[in-house]
Amino acid sequence: MKNFIFIPDTNKAAGLGHLFRCYQYSNFINNNYKIIFLINKNFDTTCLINKNASLIKINYIFFSDLKKTLNVLKNKNKKLYTFIDSYNKKLHSIDFSFYSIKHIAILDFKIQNNADFILDHTFKRKKNFYPIKSTNKTFIGLKNFPITRKIKLKKRNIILINFGSIKNKNLISKFLIFIKNLNLDSSFKIIIINKFFNKKDLFKINMRNKVICYKFFENIDNIYEKLYFTIGACGISLYEKCFYHIPSISKCVAKNQYFNFVNFLSSNCILSFDQVMKIDLQNPKNSKKILTKIHKVENNLKKYFNYNKNKKHLNLFFKKL
């Protein structure tokens, strides 16, 4: 039996994007095969998807010594396929050919690696981004993003604020004030997902009755299907929201997000957080202009992000493995 091992970056300094991207890729694997996630023993387990919430059965192994754990798995199983999703150079320098039949690196940046295959779904990434090597087969482009299903948009009366794992309460508070001044319909609610932002932080803004705060939300599709628009960073989750055709007001909060920000913005697939925040809402006409721009972004997303193409492409990729 084939065994697929995913190694997302689960160090304390890493966000959750790597983990959830691996979840998405694992959903393309045949249910008859065993799927194992190797998780750092110091990782907060409340952020792990339970077995009932996932489309596939996940076996979690918590490690302190990755090479030792891989060696144990190699001795117990014959057919191992390893996936690594991390910015950690040391992890990518490991010779995975010693442990597995095939090794796949899930990348959105340039890093030295010895993978048999590279999966890079970066929007508008060019083929010459990676050096050509005979040992590497590189798959570049939007069709490699692991989108597993469509969502049905319901009553869209929620605005989501989610900047990932960054600790920046001022950034969130700043936009809450902006939404307040936008004078949206009273039926709208605001959801904040951030482990550092608390309900008590809302006292200064006087919006407690409009805002729901979560440290973590497991099945975020339940929120996505009710979103009018979202505010957040330009990381992995931006792709997911774009495939669901949910407009985003985005801000680059890390160096590795800059390429995404520039290319999404140049294709009118997002609105710039900084530019939107400069708009004077004292003029009521400007509120209408912002909402019009949000609708234009939504229509433009439908031109670039096609769920069916990705599903067909990735099903074929994993079948050939």
CA distance 217 to 163: 13
This prediction's pTM: 0.87
Tokens found for residue 56: 């596939």
Tokens found for residue 141: 């482009």
For every residue of 156-173, DSSP letters joined together read: --EEEEE-TT---HHHHH
Q: What is the pLDDT along the chain (321 residues), one digit of tens a residue?
A: 899 999 999 887 677 889 989 999 999 998 889 999 999 998 887 778 765 445 568 899 999 999 999 999 999 888 999 999 998 889 999 999 999 999 999 998 888 888 999 999 999 988 788 776 645 688 999 999 999 888 888 889 999 999 877 777 888 888 888 888 887 887 889 999 988 887 777 766 666 678 888 888 878 888 999 999 999 999 889 999 999 999 999 999 888 899 999 999 999 999 999 999 999 988 888 988 999 999 999 999 999 998 888 989 999 999 888
Give the angle subtended at the CA of 26 by the CAs of 22 and 139, to the nearest 5°: 75
pLDDT value for 52: 45
Place of tokens 């939300």: 217
**In whole angstroms, how far apart are CA 205 and each of 179, 183, 199, 279, 298?**
11, 14, 11, 19, 29
Sheet holding 271-272, edge to edge: 211-214, 189-193, 158-162, 227-232, 248-250, 271-272
- Burial annotation 9-19 (CB, 10 A radius, 16+ → b, else e): bbeeebbbbbb
